[in-house]
Amino acid sequence: MVAAEPALNTSPVVSDEIRKTTCYMCACRCGIDVHLRDGKVRYIEGNRDHPVNKGVLCGKGSAGIMQHYSPARLRAPMKRVGPRGSGEFEEISWDEALGLATDWLSAVRKTDPKKLAFFTGRDQSQSLTGLWAMQFGTPNFAAHGGFCSVNMAAGGLYTFGGAFWEFGDPDWDKTKYFMLFGVAEDHASNPIKIGIGKLKSRGVKVVSVNPVRTGYNAVADEWVGVKPGTDGLFVGALIHELFRTRQIDLDYLLRYTNTAWHVIDAPGDADHGLFARGEDGEAMVWTEAGWASAMDPEAKAIPTGGRTLPDGRATRPVFELLAERFLGDDYAPEAVAAECGVAAEDIRRVAAELAHVAFQQEIVIDQPWTDWAGRRQDKMIGRPVSMHAMRGISAHSNGFQTCRMIHVLQILLGSIDCPGGFRYKPPYPKQTPPNLLPHGSLGNIKPEMPLGGPHLGFPHGPEHLLLAEDGGPSRLDKGFSWDAPMSAHGLMHMVINNAAARDPYGVDVLFMYMANMAWNSSMNVPGTIDALTAKDENGEYVIPKIIYSDAYYSETVPYADLILPDTTYLERYDCISLLDRPISEPDHVADAIRHPVVKPDRDVRGFQEVMIDLGARLGFAAFTNADGSPKFPGGYADYIVNHERKPGVGPLSGWRGDGEDFGVGAPNPGQLEKYIENGAFYAHEIAPEHAYFKHANRGYLDWGIKHGLRASPRPTIFQLYSEPLQKFRLAAEGHGERQPPDRTRERIKAFFDPIPFWYPPFEGEMTEGYPLHAITQRPMHMYHSWGSQNAWLRQITAANRLYVHVSVGARIGVEDDDWVWLSSHQGRVKCQVRLMEGVNPDTVWTWNAIGKRRGAWALSDDAPESREGFLLNHLISELLPAGGGGYRYSNSDPITGQAAWFDLRVAIEKADGGGETEPRFEATGNGGLPSAPEKLAYGAEFKEPNT
C-alpha cells in the first residue's frame, strides 16, 4: 500500500507562557525555562543564558514535572494523632499550626533557648535560617554539611581559602590534564558534565581516582581504582615523586604560600610549631639580610635551612618540614602501593604526567595584572593541571587531612587559580583560615537573647571552641568541642541520637527541615527510629516535641508531631545568595532566585515564608518593627529585597540601589522584577585582568572589597602548614589555659598535624573480620531519596543491587541477582548482587538512597524500592566502637566531625533462598494522602491536532 503522507502540523503551539526560575532537582541550581500551558507545566528545559548550565539540563532536571506533581506532596499542615511512626495525622489550619509552633518555641526561648535544636538539612537558604536561629538564641543550629562534605569545605578553606564545587572549578577551557577524585555526580551536575564533554572533545587526559568505574569515571582515559579511604596515600606518593624529582613550582610557592615562613622548633615548649612572628605579629622569613616580615614584598625569602631567632629560639622553614614529611619512606610509591591498591609504577607515571603537563606545557596569557604588593606583571602563567574531588574524599575519618593533601599537591604544581588550573569562584577566595568564628558558648546563652554572631565558623585555635563551663560541649551535636574542634558545618548526624541520650543534654523541641533523618540521611536507622520514639520513665517522649517541614511524605514525616508542609520548587520564592551558597562561576559572580511559576493547589507554604512569620510571632528583633508589627509583611519576597545584613548588603547582589549597583547598595523595591526579567539570576562578569590569581591580585582584591565580596585587602596566603591545627595540638600537650579532657589528648596530638598526612580510616582499625569496604554512589538520575516518588525516574531505577567484583562473586559462589548477607559491626542487610569488573576488588558498592520504607513517598507497599531496595545506612554506626577508656566517639572525622559514611567495613556471604530484603521495617501510615494513580497519561491534554 502506498499511503499518502499525512500533512503534518510541524508548528504546534508549545506553551502560552515561559517562566524562568531555578531548578531544585538536585543541589546544582541550574537555570530553567518552565513552559506553561493553561496553568500546567508543559515542559522544562535549561536556560541558555544561565551561568551554571548554559542551556543544558540533566536527567533529574528534565524529569521535574513528575516531581512537581508527585502524589507524595504534603497537602496541609498536620498534627500527629497516633503514636510516633504510625503516620496518623489530622490536617489543621495554618493558624493552628503556627500557633502551636509559636507556643512550643516561645516556651523554650523564655526559659532555656538551647533546648531548641534547629537543623535544616539540604537547605539552600542558610543565611535566613541561620539568622533565624541566631535571633532565637539557641546554639543548636546547622544544616546538612556535617554529614555531607564539610571535610572538603574546611580542608580547602583552611588551606587556600577556597574549595571544590561551589568554591571553585577546573579551568575547563584551558586545562590539559584533569584528575577527578571520588565525586558525587550532583556536585556539581551539569557544570561537570559540560566540562567533561569539553575535555574529552579536546582530547585532554581525564584521570579518575575512584573505587568504582561508573558515570564520569566510565569515560575517563585512565581509571585508578583506589581502595576507599586511601586516596591520601596515593596523593602523598604523588607529592613524594614531585619532591624526589624536584618538579615543583618554587617561585609560585614563595609568592603565594607560607613555604618560607619559619616555625619555632622547640619540642615540649608552649610555642613549638607556631610561626616565628615579628613584633608586628607577622610571620617571619629568613633572607640574606636576616629576618624579614613574610608580608614584606621586597624580602627574598630563603626556604631552606634552620635558623635562630634573636632571642635564641630555633626555627625551621615550612618547606623543609613539608619535604621531610613527603620524602620520607612512608610515602614512597612502593610503600603505599599495596595499601592503596595502585601499582608503584602507575603512581610514578601519574606524578610524571602531572609534572610534565604543569611544567612542559605551561600556558602563557598576554594579560597584564598587578599582584597584591602592587608589582605589575606582564603575563599570566598557567600550569594547566586541574583537579576536582568530593564525597569520596570527604566521607572518611581521614578526609580533612586527605583533602588538604590534594590541595598541597595542586599548590606544589603551581596550579591554583592560574590559567588551565583550578579557579576560584567569587566570593572565594577567603582568608586562610576564614575570619569567621563560631558562636554559641553556653555561657552566652540567655533567655530571649539573640546569639552574638553566626553559629558556624572556623576556629583558629582552642580559644574559639564552644564549651560549657565544665569544658564539655556547648552544642547538642558536640560541634566545636574537643570531640570535633573544627566542625565548621556542625554534626547534624549526631543530633537525634544525642538528644535521645541527653548527651550532653536533652532538648524540648527538635525542629528540622528537608532532611530524611528517619531514613537515608542517618547512620543506624533502627537506632535513630528508637531515639525518635524513646520514652522516659513517665511515658513521655524523650524528645518531647518534633516539628518537621518538607514538601513530601518522606520516612521522617511520621515521626514528627507537627508538620509544616513546604511547596515544590516551582511554587516558591528562594534566594541563592552570595551570603550563603552562591552559584558563581570563575568568570562571573552570580546569584539567583526562585519565584512561584505555578500556584500551589494545596494548603502549603514555602518554609522560608513560615520562618519569617514565626520570627515575627516570636518577636525577633530582625523580623519585627519597633511597634511589634511584622517587619516583612510581604513574606520571603519582602525579606529578600529589604533585609540588610550590613548597610547596603542584602541577600541579592544585583540591581541594588537605583538599579545600577552591584554588591553594595540600598534595597531596591524593583529588584525581584529585575531578576525575573533576567531569567531569575544575576551574573556580574569578572574583568580579564582579575580572572586569575585572585588570591593575590591587587585589582581583584580591591574590587572585591568595593562590592562586599571580601573583607580584607590582604592576599590569601596558602597554608601548606596550618597553624590552627598546631594550636590544638599544643593544648593537647598541656599548654594553654583551655585544656582538653584527658581522653581526647592522644587523639588530638595524633590527628591535628599541621602538615597533612594519611592515617587509616577508624572503622577498619577498630573492627575485625570485615575485609571489604562498602560505599555508595549516586545515580545520575536521582537526588538522595527524592527520586523514587518520580514516576519517570523510578522507571529507570526502582531497586538497587550490591555491586561486587567478579572475583568476590566467584569466591562466595554467587551470580547476578543472587541474595547475600552483608554484615558490619553494626548489623546486617540482605540484598541481591550484581557482578562487575570495574570496581576495586576489595570494595562493594550500591546506589545511594534507592531503598525506601513501606508507607512513604506514596509508593505501594509492594514497590521494589521497599521489597528489594536496601540501604547501607543500617550497617553504619553513628558511634565508633568503644576505644580506650570506654568512650564512644561519633563515627566522624576527628577534626571536622564530618560523618565517615565511607569508612564502612563489611563481610559478605551467600544467603539461602530468595525473598525480600532485610531488615524490612513495618509500614508507616501514610498520613491520609490520597492513593497514587494507577496510570498516568500526562500531557494528553496538551495534544494538538497532528495534521
Pick out residues in 202-241 that bind other proteins (CB under 8 A).
203-206, 213-216, 218-219, 221-223
In the list 85, 137, 182, 303, the residue contacting other proteins (rule: CB under 8 A) is 303
We find the least distance from the C-beta atom of residue 520 to other proteins, in angstroms, to be 19
User: Total binding residues for other proteins by CB under 8 A?
Assistant: 110
The yes or no reply on residue 946 touching other proteins (CB under 8 A) is yes
The yes or no reply on residue 658 touching other proteins (CB under 8 A) is no
In the list 196, 484, 717, 908, the residue contacting other proteins (rule: CB under 8 A) is 196
Q: Which is nearer to other proteins, 200 or 920 (CB)?
A: 200
The yes or no reply on residue 247 touching other proteins (CB under 8 A) is yes
Task: Work out the angle between the directed axes of helices 333-340 and 231-244 (0-180°, nearest 10).
Answer: 160
Q: CA dihedral in degrees (800, 803, 806, 811; nearest 10)?
A: -90
The yes or no reply on residue 27 touching other proteins (CB under 8 A) is no
* Residues shown for the chain: 947
The yes or no reply on residue 306 touching other proteins (CB under 8 A) is no
CA angle 730, 736, 740 (to 5 degrees): 70
Q: Which is nearer to other proteins, 46 or 504 (CB)?
A: 46
- Gap between the Cα atoms of 460 and 438, Å rounded: 10
The yes or no reply on residue 298 touching other proteins (CB under 8 A) is no
Tell me the longest C-alpha to C-alpha distance in the chain. Answer: 103
Q: Is 522 helix (H, G, I), strand (E, B) or coil?
A: coil
- Among residue numbers 593 through 632, which ones bind other proteins (CB under 8 A)? none
What cell was used for 634? 510581604
- Among residue numbers 351 through 410, which ones bind other proteins (CB under 8 A)? 352-353, 355-356
Work out the number of other CB atoms within 10 angstroms of the CB of residue 287. 15
The yes or no reply on residue 932 touching other proteins (CB under 8 A) is yes
In the list 338, 621, 882, 936, the residue contacting other proteins (rule: CB under 8 A) is 936
Q: Which H helix or E strand runs over 287?
A: strand 284-287
In the list 79, 200, 743, 749, the residue contacting other proteins (rule: CB under 8 A) is 200
Task: Work out the angle between the directed axes of helices 344-355 and 231-244 (0-180°, nearest 10).
Answer: 60
Q: Which H helix or E strand runs over 253?
A: helix 250-256
Alpha helices in 137-189 (DSSP H): 150-160
Contact by Cβ (8 Å): 180, 210: yes
- Binding segment (CB under 8 A) for other proteins, from list 62-70, 82-90, 478-486, 527-535: 62-70
Burial of 933 (0-12, 13-18, 19+ CB in 10 A): exposed
Q: From residue 793, give the alpha-carbon distance in Å to each of 24, 779, 797.
A: 15, 10, 7
The yes or no reply on residue 738 touching other proteins (CB under 8 A) is no
We find the least distance from the C-beta atom of residue 192 to other proteins, in angstroms, to be 9
- Among residue numbers 63 through 92, which ones bind other proteins (CB under 8 A)? 63, 65, 71
The yes or no reply on residue 128 touching other proteins (CB under 8 A) is no
What cell was used for 352? 610524571
- Binding segment (CB under 8 A) for other proteins, from list 155-163, 379-387, 720-728, 862-870: 862-870
The yes or no reply on residue 794 touching other proteins (CB under 8 A) is yes
- Gap between the Cα atoms of 435 and 457, Å rounded: 8
The yes or no reply on residue 943 touching other proteins (CB under 8 A) is yes
The yes or no reply on residue 796 touching other proteins (CB under 8 A) is yes
CA-derived radius of gyration, the chain: 27
Q: From residue 834, give the alpha-carbon distance in Å to each of 550, 793, 806.
A: 34, 21, 9
The yes or no reply on residue 836 touching other proteins (CB under 8 A) is yes
- Among residue numbers 772 through 791, which ones bind other proteins (CB under 8 A)? 780-781, 789, 791
Which contacts (CB < 8 Å, 24+ apart) does range 609-615 have? 609/573, 609/635, 609/636, 610/98, 610/549, 610/564, 611/128, 611/129, 611/132, 612/128, 612/636, 612/638, 612/639, 613/98, 614/98, 614/101, 614/102, 614/105, 614/132, 615/132, 615/135
The yes or no reply on residue 939 touching other proteins (CB under 8 A) is yes
Contact by Cβ (8 Å): 171, 420: yes
Q: Which is nearer to other proteins, 335 or 622 (CB)?
A: 335
Q: Which is nearer to other proteins, 599 or 935 (CB)?
A: 935
In the list 278, 838, 841, 925, the residue contacting other proteins (rule: CB under 8 A) is 838
The yes or no reply on residue 798 touching other proteins (CB under 8 A) is yes
b or e along 633-654 (b: 16 or more beta carbons within 10 Å of the residue's beta carbon)? Answer: eebbbbbbbbbeeeeebbbbbb
- Gap between the Cα atoms of 439 and 451, Å rounded: 7
Q: Which is nearer to other proteins, 135 or 210 (CB)?
A: 210
We find the least distance from the C-beta atom of residue 808 to other proteins, in angstroms, to be 15
Cβ-proximal residues to 267 (8 Å cutoff; 6+ apart), any chain: none
We find the least distance from the C-beta atom of residue 238 to other proteins, in angstroms, to be 13
The yes or no reply on residue 31 touching other proteins (CB under 8 A) is no
The yes or no reply on residue 197 touching other proteins (CB under 8 A) is yes
Binding mask 36-55 for other proteins (x = CB under 8 A): -x----xxxxx-x----x-x
- Binding segment (CB under 8 A) for other proteins, from list 427-435, 572-580, 638-646, 831-839: 831-839
In the list 272, 313, 349, 745, the residue contacting other proteins (rule: CB under 8 A) is 349
Q: Which is nearer to other proteins, 352 or 622 (CB)?
A: 352
- Binding segment (CB under 8 A) for other proteins, from list 112-120, 347-355, 467-475, 608-616: 347-355
Q: Which residue has the cell 588538604?
A: 404
In the list 93, 111, 245, 807, the residue contacting other proteins (rule: CB under 8 A) is 245
Write the secondary structure of 757-805 as one string of H (helix), E (strand) and C (coil): CCCCCHHHHHCCCCCEEEEEECCCCCCCCHHHHCCCHHHHCCCCCEEEE
In the list 39, 305, 306, 634, the residue contacting other proteins (rule: CB under 8 A) is 305
The yes or no reply on residue 925 touching other proteins (CB under 8 A) is no
